[in-house]
Amino acid sequence: MILFGTFTQALLYLCLAIMVGTFILSLVSSRNKPALHVPKWLLLSAIGGVGILSFYPVWELILYLKQNIGLSITLLQSVLFTFEVGKAWVVTYLLSTLLFLWVIWVDYRRKAVYASFGLVLALFIILALGWTSHASSYDRVIGFISHSLHLTMVSVWVGILFIVSWCSTNHENWSRFLKWFTPVAILCFASTILSGLILMTFAIDPNQYLNSWMLPYGQTLLIKHLLIIPLFGYAIINSIFVKKRLRSDDQYNPKPWTKLESVIILLIFSATAAMGQQAPPHETIVTAEGASTLFTLFYQDFQPSMTVQLGMNPISLLFLGFALLFLVLFILAYWKKASSIVSFLMSGLLFVCVYLTVIFSVQ
């Protein structure tokens, strides 16, 4: 169930991004973006996916309650119309259905007002999902606002990037596209980091961040944070270095690099979805049975009473050196016009070495 839940929630985030990105790019002048062809089936699949995949938390609750009272129509009605997660899903499903029918009946690309209406519905769907978030259950105001902002900013940034990377038919007007997308991406990235830090406080006491690594949730959060390093590298390449190269070579195709950035983001989506399937540190205690398998793989003498502190040692310094080496090779892969696959391999090795640097620094 954990793997299935991780898959469905990661796919849900991708569907939201596709939906938001498609409508935003429909509002952008053709002069300021490459030629796009977003298949209608892709957008409809994303909208339908939101309505279906967002049901998973409701299904989890139904499975939990049926152990005591059995599965029945009464139970389903109670979950859908009594519990907040059920009521929010009903709203999400109705909005998704309305948006689905809107895309079928109306050509959202023909008039800006049509795409604007679709974007407004998409944002209301995000608000409905934010209402049932973990953070919102702890603080109806700050939790709801921070989760909704986080999900909105990620959907805008990733949605635009994903659609341009995978649905553009050429790379014309790329410089004009970067001119407006770069500040948008910077704003979204900064807002995502800020709202993400606020959300983290609902799950982890900041003073216990290192100790949380002993738990599956903390290990997944660490992986998510470390994935930001290669993501940041690709963001710099695609926003600064590509812009400079296009000035001297207007035939240069930057799409392979934006595709790699979108792949890293999908990995972060997966890590975020996995966190949603695990108990946050403030809801559990560290036990030998509940400890992270990944953490105990490196520390087989693990004891639940231990605390995590960081300190460099010869092994961690060795992996730090490897991390710096792969960082240099990652940058050189772009400057030497190596295959984007080589760059992706270097970024993967960079991530692994940074992770090993951190994990072997534990004392």
Overall average pLDDT of the 184-213 stretch: 88
Q: What confidence tens digit (pLDDT) does each residue in 14-34 have?
A: 999 999 999 999 999 999 999
Q: Is it the case that residue 343 has pLDDT exceeding 60?
A: yes
What tens digit of pLDDT does each residue of 110-167 get?
A: 889 999 999 999 999 999 999 888 778 778 888 889 999 999 999 999 999 999 999 9
Give the tens place of pLDDT for each residue, 268-288: 989 888 888 887 776 666 765
Over the Cα atoms of the chain, what is R_g?
Answer: 22
In order of 96, 205, 214, 237, 294, the CA distances from 307 in angstroms are 46, 14, 9, 39, 16
Which pLDDT does position 322 carry in this prediction?
A: 95
Alpha-carbon span 118 to 139, nearest angstrom: 29
pLDDT at residue 351, as a whole number: 95
| Confidence (pLDDT) at 118 | 95
pLDDT of 314: 92
Which amino acid is residue 96, in one-letter code?
A: S
Per-residue confidence at 1, pLDDT binned at 50, 70, 90? low
| Rounded Cα–Cα distance for residues 124 and 143 (Å) | 17
Q: Cα–Cα distance between 191 and 145 in angstroms, integer?
A: 12
In the chain, the percentage of residues whose pLDDT exceeds 70 is 97
Return the residue matching tokens 């946050």: 280
In the block, which residue shows the tokens 């100790």? 211
Of 98-102, 272-276, 303-307, 328-332, where does mean pLDDT reach its minimum? Answer: 303-307
pTM for this predicted structure: 0.92
- Residue 273: both structure tokens together: 């979805």
Residue 163, exposed/middle/buried by CB under 10 A (0-12, 13-18, 19+)? buried
What are the CA-CA distances from residue 69 to residues 58, 77, 83, 184 (Å)? 16, 13, 16, 50
pLDDT given at position 100: 96
Angle between the N-to-C axes of helices 2-26 and 56-69, in degrees from 0 to 180, rounded to the nearest 10? 150
pLDDT of residue 90: 94
For residue 47 the two structure tokens come to: 């909208």
Phi, psi (degrees; rounded to nearest 5) at 27: -90, -10
